[in-house]
Amino acid sequence: MATHRNPADLVRVLPLDGLPATTAAPQLTAQQHRDMFRSMLLVRMLDEKMLLLQRQGRIAFFGPSAGQEAAIIGSGSVARAQDWIFPALREAGVALHRGFPLEQYFGQLFGNVLDPQKGRQQPMHFSSAAVHQVSLSSPIATQLPQAVGAAYAAKLRGDDVVVFGYLGDGATSEHDFHCALNFAGVWKAPVLFICQNNGWAISVPFEKQTASDGIAVKAAAYGMPGIAVDGNDVLAVRAATQMAMDRALRGEGPALLELVTWRRGGHSSSDDPSRYRDEASIPAWVLIDPIERYRDYLRANNIVSAAEEQTISAALKSAMDAALVTAEAAPGPAMDTLFTDVYATIPAHLQRQMESAGSDTSGRAEGAFPL
């Protein structure tokens, strides 16, 4: 597969199959390492829990991230509090790393009152102004021009903000990808395009998406650097993202990062990858678990012991279980939010509809609210 080319060509910190590092490890504190490792474990544990809930019929849909934790957390951990995230399907872990409460995470999947969006988006469309994460767009790649617009606005206002625009490899076949990179390059907008290239756009393999040697090479056409990274190496992802971030903060414009990784499961809970994917044909290095790889580094450098990991995992499980109990018992959003969130000042016709809905919502036919 074209996406899983020679690993020697990728930015790497952690040695792999006899290949040495190509860049220095980022200078992180022990606590920063622990925080990243904790978030990677949380993403994996949530995947396992949510897929079970979906199979039990308790939630409708879920998009798993297993295998891509290093790409998600390694990049998202670089973002500062004031920076904005425009995600694709698998970046809920970025919001969680930045403080998104588990109760709200579960509330979004249930579509209840705990969801900051009041249950108006389908599952996996996590969004929160508190952690500066915008809802993903179900149409592929539409978040990228939005990310460029936000970044250009920040530049015009002189705000100290960098915008992260996430995408999958399939999004590079959409016109919004090209429009976004073109405008970002012309405007030198402070935006990072972060592509998790897991080799498949649902069931379409990368070699049927493009004839180019990977995705990073596409950046040259838009006047920005492209960086191809071992996306299963969380430290390489962190180092490459920080380099692109520093460049944007110097006013030098956008960058495109290609994080070569692997989706361990299906595209979503509705997908069966065994119908189209033969893992026996995939190079072994791509299949290495990013959590195990990081764990080996943390053990070797005496940062997180086996006992400490058990403590972290137990605390995460306890927090997940408690948040799930709270979220599943929460009621649906209040009826009046259908009307109060449309305009800053409710116009007369919506006021009448809200009053009518409040007085009698039983047995009302669709379209029966008075205009």
Query: Sign (positive/negative) of CA torsion 144, 146, 147, 153?
Result: positive
Catalytic, 343? Answer no
- Catalytic residue of the set 97, 132, 238, 263: 263
Catalytic, 4? Answer no
Half-sphere exposure (Cβ direction) of 16: Cα atoms closer than 13 Å: 30
Catalytic, 166? Answer no
For residue 128, give the nearest of 341, 70, 136, 153 by alpha carbon.
Answer: 136
Instruction: List the 163-168 sheet strands across, edge first.
Output: 84-86, 163-168, 191-197, 255-260, 226-230
**Structural contact between residues 165 and 143, judged by C-beta atoms closer than 8 angstroms:** yes
Q: Any residues with CB less than 8 A from the CB of 252 and at least 6 apart, and which?
A: 188
- Catalytic residue of the set 55, 58, 80, 276: 276
Crossing angle of helices 290-300 and 30-55, rounded to 10°: 150
Pairing of strands 204-205, 200-201: antiparallel
- Catalytic residue of the set 12, 33, 264, 267: 267
**Residues involved in catalysis:** 263, 267, 276
